[in-house]
Structure 1
Amino acid sequence: MKRHEAREKALQTLFQIEGTEMSIEQAADHIMDGETDSFYELLVHGTFTNMAAIDERLKRHLENWTLDRLPKIERTILRMAVFELVYMQDAPGRVIMNEAIELSKTYGDDKSSRFVNGVLSKFNDELAN
């Protein structure tokens, strides 16, 4: 499975888990239909496990927004991207940002990609310093 597809499926899985009583395994079964992929697994489990720390870091870059007010899809995309930027570091920041922007264009509304780009640009600038 290509990384873009793994990110897309990880987004769908994490989106399903938030606000439901569904376990990671149940959501993964539903999305992956028995297929496995190590990058997908790492994204889902890593983002979910580190969500509190990721949220704290994200809050510092949200201007005039709270994390709870963000649309669920944008919040999930940002969490995944921050997980990759901070914990994985196996892809360049620009690649991770571009992937997040593409996901927001596909799954968000007209303004999602600009918003995700703005937040992640600030976040990526902080990491570079």
Structure 2
Amino acid sequence: MSRRLARETALQVLFQRDLTKEPMNTAEEVQRWAEEFVVPEPSRNFAQELVDGTIAHQDEIDQTISSFAQDWTLNRMAKVDRNVMRLAAYEILYRSDIPGRVSLNEAIELAKRFGGEESAKFVNGILDRIVDNAMKVEQKGSD
């Protein structure tokens, strides 16, 4: 399974949803983008999980991103950057099966590939704080 292809597929769906602001059948969109990127079936399932989870927790994710994005509102952020961070924050906050640093590194790669010149640095700065905070919360819970 290619998790990177799955993340790219999920990002396309989340970006499109953010851009159009219209209701969509995410399963159809995941399928369409997966065909475009020639994504194998197991990776399509992972992409769907990422899309569904990110959308289900978007309010909490947006609040978290906003709290760590000093002097930036979500609306001022580039749509690609915002959706890369939403996707990674979902993984960091809600997917214990994926190490936070892995999600962070994958987000940086997505930002380099799909974002602007400063996207990777911007995304890294905010997500790094989210990962550090999540690790502190996890440590307190296990004490």
Give TM-score scaled by structure 2 length.
Answer: 0.84
Letter in 1 for 2:3: R
Letter in structure 1 aligned against 2:100:
G
Match of 2:74 among 56, 67, 71: 67
Cα separation, 2, equivalents of 1:112 and 1:16 = 18
TM-score relative to the length of structure 1: 0.92
Largest Rg, 1 or 2: 2
- Structure 2: 5+ residue runs without aligned partners? 137-143
Code of the aligned partner of 1:54: I
**Contact 1:16–1:27 (8 Å) recurs in 2:** no
Is structure 2 residue 14 aligned with structure 1 residue 14?
yes
**Alpha carbons 1:17, 1:27 under 8 Å: kept:** no
TM-fit CA distance, 1:91:
1.6
The 8 Å contact of residues 9 and 32 in structure 1, kept in 2 or not, is answered as yes
Give 1:58's match in structure 2, choosing from 62, 65, 80: 65
Query: How many percent of aligned residue pairs carry the same amino acid?
Result: 39
Give the equivalent residue in structure 2 for 1:49: 56
- CA shift for structure 1 position 19: 3.4
Show the 5 A alignment for 1:82-101.
Answer: 82-101=89-108
CA distance in 2, matches of 1:29, 1:39: 12
Task: Select which of 87, 104, 124 maps to 1:80.
Answer: 87
Alignment RMSD, CA only?
1.6
- How far the C-alpha of 1:48 sits from its partner, in A, is 1.0
Runs of 4+ in 1 over 4 A off after TM superposition: none
1:38-84 deviation line (CA, Å, top 9, x unaligned): 21111011101111111111111011100111000000000000000
Structure 2 counterpart of 1:30? 32
The number of residues matched between the two structures is 129
Question: Where in structure 1 are there 5+ consecutive unaligned residues?
Answer: none
In 2, distance between residues paired with 1:22 and 1:56? 22
